[in-house]
Chains A and B, each alone.
Chain A
Amino acid sequence: MMIKRFLPFGAALASFCLVSLTGQYAALFVQGWSFSSWLYPLLFTAALESSYFAAYFLTPQVPLLGRVLELSLFLSPLYFLSAGSKALAVESLLVGGAWLLARGYGRQFAEMEIKSAYLSDYPPSAINWEYESLESKGYGAGPAVEYFWRRFFAFGSGAVVLAIIAERSNFVLDSLTRVRLGVLTTGSLFCLLVLQTGAYLFRLQILWEYAQAKIQPGLSRIWLKSLSVFLVVALLAVNAAPVNYSPFSLEKIGPRLAGFLQRILEGPALKREAGSDFPAAAGGPGFLPPPSEAEPSWWIAVILLIYLLSAGGIVLIFFLILLGFLIVEFSKKELGGLRGLPKLAVRVFKALKRVWQKLTGAAWAEPEENVFSPRPAGVKEEFLFSRLRFSSWPEPRNIRAQFRRMVRLGRKKGVSFRADHTAGEYGFCLQKKLKEGKNNIALFIAGYHRVRYGRDRLGPNEQSKIMALGSDLIKEIKNLGKEE
């Protein structure tokens, strides 16, 4: 499956979420304008059309007039739907924004495909690096599909800026708006990440196609399934992580910073005021002696600088320790290959660890190897069936029918009846699974053998005895896996 056909849809969805989020914030900032609900379908339609058109049909030969007409198709309804010129302007900007964002993505997909045409100049064996072939980069140069990463970062940062401005502006947000903003922010990030991975998969698919690789059927499906689990876990973790615990928040360091700045700018006046209003301070115990008038005012700047440097340094060390801890924990055996910031972080962390060990005299226990225990040979999920389904079957009338029922039930419990299996061999396989009926199965199979392969018929007593065994066994097979 080439994922390209789904990518413009993802791009449209991401553009829609981003522009809707911007629109929600705009409704807070622009006085007298509210985000109308009819804008949602319009934004989405504009984005969808733009991304698909760009991905499949847009070429340099499409005239400018055509593009203008395409955009006006979505802008013209605004004229009728908008209430006032201010609203028209904002809404036009939003629709235009969604259209342009989606267009950019769509164009990028088309370009990826165009670039891939260069690959046909190479023999398939030369296309052996999934990593660099499309962009002619060296191995390990940087992340693939960087266009999407740039946009991801830009839009994410933009959303953060808007959120900060909205919070700092002390807007009173009702709960509905909060939910809407939250959903749109999470949705935007989710869509951007899905788009990111989709673009990457598309790029890989192009490379694999030219390299004539043998692709596992259903690879995209498995990929997207695993990805969705990863994204849900990541977004949940991100939302559950603690916030607002910073010792260096603007609220905490802002007043001091402002005070210091003020002192720098208004130093002498302050001193005079201090001398007149608080005479005790001049020579009172417990106070620092005021600086003499002869001293220059640059010492304040020095203290400020020292403060800033130490604050920055502490923040930096804190980050390095945290990062070092994460690296050491996650990649114990690969520390030698680290470069740059991570290497520094590990060094700082290890130094701190050594100091701590010296101080406490305690050795830190090395974490145990992450060895996963093998999956117990239990019953797979797919073998769990509802009781209703089994109970709807009629009771087997004879021993052979009972055996057939056992085979059908056993198959659903993971004991398959192969073509080369004899009844005896199958009974042996079942025996390994059963607990109570271990002995009964041998007796039942012996009876079955007489019925199936023997010359003589069983007597009524014998038959009923074996059928009773069979019924018990069927019940036990039905209950297999339920206790587990």
Chain B
Amino acid sequence: MALIKWQFLSMLALLAAFLFETRTAYNWAYLMLILFFGLRLFQRRLTEQIAVRRLTPQLSLFPGEQKEVVFQVENKSRLPFAWISGLDRIPTDLAGTRPKKGVFSLPGRSRVEVPALLTARQRGVYVLGPIEIFIGDFFGLSTQRFLVDDPQTVLVYPRIYNLEDLNLTSAAVIGPITAQKRIYPDPTKLAGVRPCQAGDPLRTLHWPATARTNSLQVKQFEHTVNVTCLLLLNLDRGDYESKKHHLQTELAVSTAASLSAALLRSGAALGFAANGVLTRRLAQEKINLTGSGPILRLRPRQGTAQLVQILTILAGIETQKKVGFETILAEQSRRKGSAAFLFLVIPKDSVEIVSRAEELVRNGYRVHIFVAGSKIRHPRLLHRPKEAPLQIFTAREKEGARL
């Protein structure tokens, strides 16, 4: 029966009270009016005094991590709410256990916190919310439903492996750094001595050699080199095997993340470029991408902040089929001197890519190719000497690496 019928009956009760003028009839009519009119209107008015807010700040997780997110419901009025239920809409890939609805009774001027457990399983950019709130009275006369649209972005970074867990050695990443671009003489690397010439600073005199040769000798230092690296990730869908697309993509992204972490930890300045597309949800994040066009690029920088930037991009990057990896490589060979090391993370070592890599080597780069998950087609480039400018490695997740 609709509520209007009960409201009509309330009016009849009031009419009866007016006609028969009995206290009991009046009391009854008043009670009915309070219940079927007053309470409903009052409840509606009260709901304006409910405030829902999230208490957890911006979240970023690594796969396997768990984190509790909390939203708070506050009753700002002095009057109680019979019951309120709240449920935060959590994406399935992020829900720890099945998200549970929180039910509570809120006295006046009180607040309650509703927690939910997040478990990061899969890299990505997720949005929590909206929060669904039901508010009811004591008698079930009116239940109101609200959707509180206070979205919160949760970044799940790609898994970062130790290099050994990807069947890689640290030598594969850092390698013997040979200078392509000299910065200044490194005082820690004495290359030898030479006779003093006009203009040589006095502090570079090598006194033992001067004494020995009885003529002024100055130290000759090796030049320090820039250890600027560039990591290039191939996310051209056409290069991935359709059957293993998901697994291969995730391995490539994780390999890129692990290499970035290892390089930046070693103090190198690392840049990043990929031919993927960013998920729309990542738009709110502060990423200092350079240039425009189909290729995502990050300028080489050092430190944790750079790693955060790269991981953020990798959290929300997806494959695409418009821009081939060769485009990036061709563009790179035109940008001479921007980096000394190139780390290519690719799903397969196609002939085109390897020939482009060889061209880059001819232009003075050192190129390490990491093939994520598939068989190597250029075995000649495997197990080469450390100093070889072009090498190829296979990145494969070791068994038990995730444990």
Contacts and interface: CB of A to CB of B under 8 A. Distances in A.
A–B touch (CB < 8 A): the answer is yes
B116 to A, nearest CB: 9
A128 B87 contact: yes
Contact of B98 (A156, A168, A212): A212
Interface stretch (B23-31, B158-166, B267-275): B23-31
B22 A163 contact: yes
B21 A244 contact: yes
Given A163-B25, A334-B44, A196 B19 contact: no
B109 interface: yes
A216 B112 contact: yes
Interface in A164-215: 164, 167-168, 185, 189, 193, 196-197, 200, 203-204, 208, 211-215
Given A238-B27, A238-B34, A160 B76 contact: no
Given A341-B4, A372-B76, A143 B140 contact: yes
Contacts, number: 190
B24 A223 contact: no
A327 interface: yes
Contacts of B80: 222, 226, 229-230
Given A153-B9, A330-B45, A160 B22 contact: yes
B181 to A, nearest CB: 53
B33 to A, nearest CB: 9
Contact of A141 (B2, B28, B105): B2
B139 A143 contact: yes
Contact of B100 (A193, A213, A370): A213
B171 to A, nearest CB: 48
B388 interface: no
B36 to A, nearest CB: 9
A149 interface: yes
A241 B77 contact: no
Given A216-B104, A372-B76, A243 B23 contact: yes
Contacts of B83: 204, 219, 223
A398 to B, nearest CB: 42
A204 B140 CA distance: 9
A189 B13 CA distance: 15
B257 to A, nearest CB: 33
B45 A326 contact: no
A248 interface: yes
A157 interface: yes
A163 B45 CA distance: 35
B14 interface: yes
B138 to A, nearest CB: 5
Nearest to B36: A143
Interface string B49-83: 10000000000000000000000000011101011
A143 B6 contact: yes
A41 interface: no
Given A160-B25, A326-B37, A326-B41, A227 B101 contact: no
Interface string A322-345: 010011001101100000111000
Nearest to A217: B104
A466 interface: no
Do most interface residues of chain A lie in helix, strand or loop, or is the interface mixed?
Answer: helix
B136 interface: yes
A474 interface: no
A342 B3 CA distance: 12
Contacts of A222: 80, 105, 107
Contacts of B13: 157, 160
Contacts of A208: 85, 101, 103
A130 B143 contact: yes
A243 B22 CA distance: 8
A319 B109 contact: no
B8 interface: yes
B141 interface: yes
B35 to A, nearest CB: 8
A163 B8 contact: no
B100 A167 contact: no
Contacts of B19: 246, 248-250
Contacts of A331: 41, 44-45
Interface in A327-382: 327, 330-331, 333-334, 340-342, 370, 372, 375
Contacts of B11: 319, 341
Interface residues of A, number: 74
Interface in B134-177: 134, 136, 138-141, 143, 145
A197 B139 CA distance: 5
A292 interface: no
B129 to A, nearest CB: 16
B82 A227 contact: yes
A159 interface: yes
B191 interface: no
Contacts of A193: 139
A394 B305 CA distance: 61
A124 interface: yes
Nearest to A252: B21
B37 A214 contact: no
A136 to B, nearest CB: 15
A364 B47 CA distance: 26
Contacts of B98: 124-125, 212
A18 B14 CA distance: 21
Interface string A42-80: 000000000000000000000000000000000000000
A241 B105 CA distance: 30
B101 A211 contact: yes
B15 A213 contact: no
A15 to B, nearest CB: 19
A168 B25 CA distance: 13
Given A125-B98, A223-B138, A341-B7, A237 B82 contact: no
Given A143-B141, A333-B48, A164 B20 contact: yes
B30 A241 contact: yes
A4 to B, nearest CB: 16
A295 interface: no
B225 interface: no
A289 interface: no
A234 B31 contact: yes
A142 B26 CA distance: 25
B18 interface: yes
6 contacts: A164-B22, A208-B101, A211-B101, A241-B30, A246-B18, A331-B45
4 closest residue pairs by CB, A with B: A144-B140, A163-B24, A216-B104, A226-B80
Given A130-B134, A149-B6, A246-B18, 15 more contacts: A130-B136, A159-B24, A200-B139, A204-B136, A208-B101, A211-B101, A213-B85, A214-B100, A219-B105, A230-B80, A248-B18, A315-B15, A319-B11, A330-B42, A330-B44
